Chain A
Amino acid sequence: MSDTESSLPLDGWHRRLGARMVPFAGYAMPIQYEGILAEHRWTRESAGLFDVSHMGQLLIAGGGTEKALEALLPADLAMLREGRPKYSLLLTEHGGIVDDLMVTRRGDHFYMVVNGATKHDDIAHLESKLPRGVVVDHMKEQALLALQGPKAADALARLVPEVAELTFMTGGPFAVAGIKAWISRSGYTGEDGFEISVPANAVEALATLLLDQPEVKPIGLGARDSLRLEAGLPLYGHDLDTTTTPVEADLVFALSRRRRETGGFPGWQRISRELAQGPIRKRVGLAVEGRQPVREGAMVVDAEGSEIGKVTSGGFSPSLEAPIAMAYVPLAYAVHGTQVSLAQRGRIFTGRVVPLPFVPHRYHRKGAGT
């Protein structure tokens, strides 16, 4: 391990389980245990345990926090009910995306989960924009686990029966074997599942307890990426960055109706123009012909070979057993069924614009039964 990598609370636990550790977001992290394909399939069929303690957990508090955050995010926080995670975005003055995140009202404060690779920049961004009375606490003493898959609820409810009451995008405080935990029914795989925030000094006990459940296996970053790609979920720094807007990125659902209409957040001018007139380009899903993956960095080209767009994520879909990708293409091409040419290492591949997600989401929504 190099000097520049920090270790996460579960470092030794991952290594004992035989994980291959790689540098990611400044930490040594498990990329795989038994293998990406097997871990991917296990998560789709049973339940996978992910250590996502690299992510930034922030607590934002102080007088006027709600209004102060609304000045930075396009979410309707005034309407946001207690314990309901909301997907939102930090934006630049030009409507570019600084980060994507989850924000939850918890009593007198807001709990925010941001990307690991961007958390220090996010904190600096928040601190420079928020008024003096609003304080950002980086909860370095908290670890974060995700339990994802169709059997995640069976496994977790054996330890905390009350979580069965949670529906998709709701959360609350629970105790797991005496460990204080904040649990929400949410995740980044397209499956039903939970995200569990616990004190770092208790995370190994909880991870071990979860792994003792027969449905659960540990899953590395490799499968996390292939799962989120199949679920059509963008990854910051790849599919989203400061040059992409929420409208281009097809994240209009993150722009709450009141905020869309009345603005008051960074980049609103450009965003409202794009909402009215359409963006120049749009993030789409591509089904790629053949078996060879087309990856991030491949060009989308027109008949003359000129670059008209870019692949921002791509790989082999274990569920579909075929290559899939996400790309930005001109708006005229962003129609389902459109064929596009992709250039990678001097070769042309054919892609077809398909609806996202590639693999249907299976969230546990309210009223959907069990």
Chain B
Amino acid sequence: MTVYYTKEHEWVRVDGDTATVGITDFAQGQLGDVVFVEVPEAGRQVSQSGEAAVVESVKAASDVYAPVGGEVIEGNQALVDDPSLVNSDPEGEGWFFKLRLSDTEQINDLMSAEQYRAFCDSQ
């Protein structure tokens, strides 16, 4: 099980052909207090880099993109009910959705934890 990152500040935890997606601690820190989250429903097909979820803080609205394409297995209802989980536990309880990867090759487009750290430092 490995965690990958994107330049849009999403993380993806890959376990076989299943991926769990959320936004990073850096992203939640930039957004500030999150007040609204919308997650995709099970069964929806999302393409790599396509819009998949919405996150809104007091200040602004942002889209969450799918780091990899596939079929959504589950959206995190607990997060919809309590959007502040994004702030308190962004890379744990605050996950957005799970999907079944359509093409495991897409993982090669993502950054490792080390690469992502370097990317944030350069921002």
Does A281 have its Cβ within 8 Å of any Cβ on chain B?
A: no
Task: Return B10 CB to nearest CB of chain A, in Å.
Answer: 20
* Interface residue count on the A side (C-beta < 8 Å): 16
Of all chain A residues, the one with the shortest Cβ separation from B60 is A295
Question: Are A292 and B33 in contact (CB-based, < 8 A)?
Answer: no
Give the CA-CA distance A318 to B61 in the complex, in Å: 16
Q: Other CB < 8 Å A-B pairs besides A36-B59, A37-B33, A315-B58, 15 of them?
A: A32-B32, A36-B32, A36-B33, A36-B57, A222-B32, A222-B59, A291-B36, A291-B83, A292-B38, A293-B35, A293-B36, A293-B56, A295-B61, A318-B58, A345-B61
Q: By DSSP majority rule, is chain B's interface helix, strand, loop, or mixed?
A: strand
Mark B3-17 against chain A: 1 for CB-CB distance below 8 A, else 0. Answer: 000000000000000
Does A18 have its Cβ within 8 Å of any Cβ on chain B?
A: no
Which of B35, B56, B57, B83 is packed against the most chain A CB atoms within 10 Å? B35
Give the CA-CA distance A226 to B32 in the complex, in Å: 14
Partner of B58, one of A291, A292, A316: A316
Give the CA-CA distance A291 to B57 in the complex, in Å: 11
CB neighbours (8 Å) of A226 from chain B are 58
Q: By DSSP majority rule, is chain A's interface helix, strand, loop, or mixed?
A: mixed
Partner of A35, one of B33, B38, B54, B56: B33
Hey, which bits of chain B sit against chain A, CB under 8 A? 32-33, 35-36, 38, 54, 56-59, 61, 83
Question: Are B32 and A291 in contact (CB-based, < 8 A)?
Answer: no
Question: Are A37 and B38 in contact (CB-based, < 8 A)?
Answer: no
Give the CA-CA distance A291 to B58 in the complex, in Å: 12
Task: Return B116 CB to nearest CB of chain A, in Å.
Answer: 21
CB neighbours (8 Å) of A36 from chain B are 32-33, 57-59
Give the CA-CA distance A35 to B59 in the complex, in Å: 11
Partner of B36, one of A35, A222, A292: A292
Give the CA-CA distance A166 to B59 in the complex, in Å: 35
Give the CA-CA distance A32 to B61 in the complex, in Å: 17
Give the CA-CA distance A291 to B38 in the complex, in Å: 10
Which of A32, A37, A226, A345 is packed against the most chain B CB atoms within 10 Å? A37
CB neighbours (8 Å) of A37 from chain B are 33, 35, 58
Question: Are B32 and A316 in contact (CB-based, < 8 A)?
Answer: no
Mark A280-308 against chain B: 1 for CB-CB distance below 8 A, else 0. Answer: 00000000000111010000000000000
- The answer to whether A35 and B32 touch (CB under 8 A), given A222-B58, A315-B58, is yes
CB neighbours (8 Å) of B61 from chain A are 293, 295, 345
Which of A32, A36, A316, A318 is packed against the most chain B CB atoms within 10 Å? A316
User: Which 8 residue pairs are nearest across A and B when measured between Cβ atoms?
Assistant: A316-B35, A37-B33, A36-B58, A292-B36, A291-B36, A35-B33, A36-B33, A316-B58
CB neighbours (8 Å) of B36 from chain A are 291-293, 316
CB neighbours (8 Å) of B35 from chain A are 37, 291, 293, 316
CB neighbours (8 Å) of B58 from chain A are 36-37, 222, 226, 315-316, 318
Task: Return A1 CB to nearest CB of chain B, in Å.
Answer: 16
CB neighbours (8 Å) of B59 from chain A are 31, 36, 222
CB neighbours (8 Å) of A291 from chain B are 35-36, 83
Of all chain B residues, the one with the shortest Cβ separation from A37 is B33
Give the CA-CA distance A32 to B54 in the complex, in Å: 23
Interface residues of A in 26-45 (CB under 8 A from B): 31-32, 35-38
Mark A324-346 against chain B: 1 for CB-CB distance below 8 A, else 0. Answer: 00000000000000000000010
Of all chain B residues, the one with the shortest Cβ separation from A36 is B58
Of all chain B residues, the one with the shortest Cβ separation from A344 is B61
Give the CA-CA distance A222 to B61 in the complex, in Å: 14
Give the CA-CA distance A316 to B54 in the complex, in Å: 15
